[in-house]
Amino acid sequence: MWSLDHTMMRVEDLDASLDWYQTYFDYEEKGRWEADTFTNVFLGPEDVHDDGALLELTYNHDGRSYTMGDAWGHIAVRCDDVYEAYDELMDAGVEDYRDPDSCGGSYAFVTDPDGHEIEIVERDHGAKWSLDHTMIRVEDAEQAIGWYTRKLDYDLFRREEFDDFALYFLKPEDAPEEAMSVELTYNYDGRSYELGDAWGHLAVRTDDLHSAWETLMGRHAEDYRDPESCDDRYAFTKDPDAREIELVTN
């Protein structure tokens, strides 16, 4: 219960975005929802783990543009060797953004057609290019950690403290290595962040939507969009930084 199911981002040209992820990351379409005003497409590697997370691309049919904001940081994808993976992307035609040398040799970054940042990290588990974590920035680290640990029963399994910022990684205690985690980034300078609208939400997976919603309400999570208001298909709450968290069923 509460494992991370997907990260949703909004795109301005669905065909271009699909081509980018399918060409460079070998993603395949795992699901699609065509509505009157929008389209949702779910993507992931062919051999994504059963408990692995997917990427949801949302395209609104009205042709709107989006602002990136800075409250969302990036998604991270896995590889065996960051230098080889980055060279592979460059040779295939991906734009050079932040190579491994500029990141201390341990990770790298590219951007998708809409400017969403994608970190490339070395892992000895999970399918190549599968989602490793989603990074979000928080204004109060203790409050954010408390929310994810109490509301979602997440475990703080890794932390890194630096001179001017800290990183905290969380996911369910019993989640496999291949599951996606959430990375909370806390900058010590007390800055505030703008959510923008280019990123949508994090989604968590549950077996019983109504039971999970009742549990969250009992833990005093925000009553934002209950199951009934979403045709009993999903529901939404918000974390302390007003980031939307969707509940979905398996």
Neighbours of 249 (CB within 10 A): 15
Burial 76-90 (b: 16+ CB within 10 A, else e): bbbbeebeebbeebe
Entry pTM:
0.97
Q: List, in sequence order, every beta strand (DSSP E) within 101-243.
A: 107-111, 117-122, 131-137, 154-161, 165-172, 181-187, 199-206, 235-238
126 phi-psi bin (left φ>0, alpha ψ -120 to 50, beta other): left
Any catalytic annotation for residue 119? Answer: yes
From first to last of its 250 residues, what are the pLDDT tens digits of the chain? 799 999 999 999 999 999 999 999 999 999 999 999 999 999 999 999 999 999 999 999 999 999 999 999 999 999 999 999 999 999 999 999 999 999 999 999 999 999 999 999 999 999 999 999 999 999 999 999 999 999 999 999 999 999 999 999 999 999 999 999 999 999 999 999 999 999 999 999 999 999 999 999 999 999 999 999 999 999 999 999 999 999 999 7
State the catalytic residue, choosing from 119, 178, 183, 244.
119
